[in-house]
Structure 1
Amino acid sequence: MSVAAQSIALRDGLPVWNAELDDELVCVAVRDETPDVRSFTFAPRTPARFHYLPGQFLTFDVPVDGGSVNRCYTIASTPTRPDRISITVKRQAGGVVSPWLHEHVRPGVSLRAVGPMGDFSFVAAPAEAYLFLSGGSGITPLMSMARAHHDLAPETDIVFVHFARTPADIVFRNELASMMQMMPNLRVITVCEADAPGERWGGPRGRVSAAMLALLVPDLALRMVFDCGPAVFMAAVRTALGALDFDMSRYHEESFDFGTITEAPAPAEPTAPTATGFAVSFSKSGRSIAVGADQFVLTAARSAGMRLPSSCTKGMCGTCKSRLISGQVDMQHQGGIRQREIDQGMILICCSRPLSDLVIER
């Protein structure tokens, strides 16, 4: 939290929201964006103001299946409007958390959250001209950036290209159209794969490609690029930019998929610890593996074929949070765990190296 942020909050008579002191957020509004995408707006239970960078995310503790599941969601709102914070969530078929949010979160419902976190933001990459590329619900961090520019710097040159399945799936469609009227240097282009029932799409069609980017953004080489979407979408963007000889030092992408948890396939037989490293046992699964002193627990567990939840693998998102029953670790996290959780024996296994034999509740 910067001194400037603290000064602004104190000047306005409200503290800056701090998840270490009060991690409870209360839903104050819910809005449908598309048939399967919904925005949830939150406020602190104790009045406070939010301070974050456009593009950062929150990790929520979601009470599903009789327990608590951690999920990361990008902040879609803008820090220029600090009294409320919002996330926009696509309901994933067969998912666990997103259906629960859609079915249960209404005004008055509270959730615990930690953050904001993340380094995907234009703030660290100032430029006169940007290209925002988004696929599906990956639009949320770029919408936060666009909203911030709308409030602070309407002269910034932004081309915002969003890829959707059909016109019915275009998130923030009306708001982006309105923003274009207020920002002469904002150009929004939507590309759809197919028509929607009751609406034939008259704009660009198809998927991201070098030919499409060259056509839609002829001055691409002069722009700073921010890209977010499913992993396959971001891979296609990188391939397209490579084919256009784009300077990839001017390319930024969200480093992990907020909406999913990655898991490794289970091996045919349990893996026993070897003579090297420390023995790490998982109390719930009954598995035991060897982890080198220079290895992260999650890395070794995945190599052994264990199915363990994880998203960022950087100590930011909190999805691999686990209870350390015995032993000691060297944990180098980046904000994905609260200090009081550490005091209660929790660790992030993605950024924890063993200092002794361990027993972990997983």
Structure 2
Amino acid sequence: MYFEWQGPNPVQLRCIDKYFETPDTISIKLAPLECQPAAANPVTFDFKPGQFITIGVEIAQKIEYRAYSLSSVPEESHLQLTIKRVEAGKVSNYLIDTFQVGDVLLALAPNGEFNSIDHPPKLINGKRKALLISAGCGITPVYAMAKQWLESQIDIDVHFLHVAKSAQHTIYFDALEALAVTHDSFQLSLLLKDASGTAHPQGRLDKAWLEQLVPDLLERTVYLCGPNQFMQDTRDNLQVLAFDMGNFFQESFTPAKDAEMSSEEAEQQVNEKNVTVSVEAFGKEIVAQQGAVLADTLEAAGLPLIVACRSGICGSCKCKVTPGSVNSTSHETLTADEIEQGYVLACSSTIENDLAVQIG
């Protein structure tokens, strides 16, 4: 029996395990509140490897939401998240330093277009061959993809290329080396900044390393996840190597709009007029500046809007607005019917005119 999510409403999950993967990275396992691991037919989770969930934790009497990729595989009685410490990161630092086994958090259903089910490896020259490329905590979703492929015993060749500072800072280091030993169809390439004490190569991923480590690169479907600049550099290198970008998929939680503004943008913002944002269900009428991000405006007013990825990817901040009142840069998780009805993603929408908002 699969765990039943509650549509757009968050559910409660309990932490049943927590441990360090590296000095600055933990994994936590989450299960239903009524979890009984020894039960004959335990409740299991269904999702697509590579997807993420949005979780909410209470910090300083406020629920903070963030999106994290799943590192577990479907059909298990728990969900696993792997969280890396981020400098000044409110939620990641809370989860690493304060959150404990037995604690409860909120969670929204798995989501995300970056997954191995909707985008399976393509048949190239009669074979299915995948190349998973990651750096840092970007290893999380591609690790889940690799495990699922290997456990399903489908006919696929998996090459796993990960870049890290050192063996000690490589998330899942022992698990990856074990997969390379136990599965003939799994090839591991770790490229380390400091490879001391290992048999792995040392260097920085570039076009030459891609050619050397993956000589059959052009025969593979590529799945990429990692820091934004790393992904951009890798994408550029693939294009220089004449890789077919139709066989390329990547994940990114990069905000849709930079936090810094140019002087011209700042001057334009000063000259923009005020608009009114009405949220009738909560008795709120907010005065905002034209051009402001809708999610920021609603959050500042204390309204219960879930804003997790801030990239127009997770869909947690979906709301309905007056037609023509906002300018949206992403509709990624919205259906055509929802867009027609006036739904937008608040994190990717700027206010243009007076509007009414329905949250949820």
Q: TM-score w.r.t. structure 1 length?
A: 0.76
Matched, 1:271 2:270: yes
- Name the counterpart of 1:4: none
In 2, distance between residues paired with 1:234 and 1:352?
Answer: 25
Structure 1 window deviating more from structure 2 (118-127 vs 24-33): it is 118-127
Letter in 1 for 2:214: V
- Name the counterpart of 1:212: 209
- Name the counterpart of 2:176: 176
1:100 to 87, 94, 102: 94
Letter in 2 for 1:179: L
Deviation at 1:236, TM superposition (A): 1.1
Letter in 2 for 1:236: D
Deviation at 1:358, TM superposition (A): 3.5
Percent identity between the two aligned chains: 26
Deviation at 1:149, TM superposition (A): 1.4
The alignment yields a C-alpha RMSD, in angstroms, of 3.7
In 1, distance between residues paired with 2:314 and 2:69?
Answer: 13
Output aligned runs, 1:274-285, within 5 Å: 274=273, 279-280=275-276
Matched, 1:40 2:35: no
Change beyond 3 A, Cα 1:66–1:16? closer
- Name the counterpart of 1:85: 79
**What are the ranges of 5 or more consecutive residues in structure 1 without an aligned counterpart?**
1-8, 10-14, 302-308, 336-345
Letter in 1 for 2:156: T
Helix, strand or coil: the match of 1:24?
strand
In 2, distance between residues paired with 1:51 and 1:148?
Answer: 12
| Native 8 Å contact 1:279 1:290 kept in 2 | no
Matched, 1:121 2:115: yes
Letter in 2 for 1:136: G
Q: Deviations over 1:257-286 (max 9, x none)?
A: 4xx896523636863544xxx924599996
1:72 to 67, 70, 82: 67
Structure 1 window deviating more from structure 2 (39-48 vs 350-359): it is 350-359
| Native 8 Å contact 1:159 1:188 kept in 2 | yes
| Native 8 Å contact 1:17 1:44 kept in 2 | no
Letter in 1 for 2:66: R
Q: Deviations over 1:165-198 (max 9, x none)?
A: 1111111111111122221010011110125xxx
Letter in 2 for 1:23: V
Output aligned runs, 1:154-169, within 5 Å: 155-169=155-169
Matched, 1:235 2:223: no
- Name the counterpart of 1:50: 45
In 1, distance between residues paired with 2:90 and 2:345?
Answer: 21
Helix, strand or coil: the match of 1:122?
coil
Q: Deviations over 1:288-324 (max 9, x none)?
A: 2158xxxx846999xxxxxxx7735436253x579x9
Letter in 2 for 1:52: F
Helix, strand or coil: the match of 1:200?
coil
2:314 to 304, 313, 316: 316
Matched, 1:60 2:60: no
**What are the ranges of 5 or more consecutive residues in structure 2 without an aligned counterpart?**
36-42, 122-127, 279-283, 299-306, 335-342
Matched, 1:334 2:333: yes
In 2, distance between residues paired with 1:59 and 1:168?
Answer: 28
Change beyond 3 A, Cα 1:70–1:92? same
Deviation at 1:155, TM superposition (A): 4.0
| Native 8 Å contact 1:272 1:288 kept in 2 | no
Matched, 1:135 2:122: no
| Native 8 Å contact 2:53 2:110 kept in 1 | yes
| Native 8 Å contact 1:193 1:207 kept in 2 | yes
Deviation at 1:287, TM superposition (A): 4.1
Helix, strand or coil: the match of 1:16?
coil
- Name the counterpart of 1:3: none
| Native 8 Å contact 2:133 2:162 kept in 1 | yes
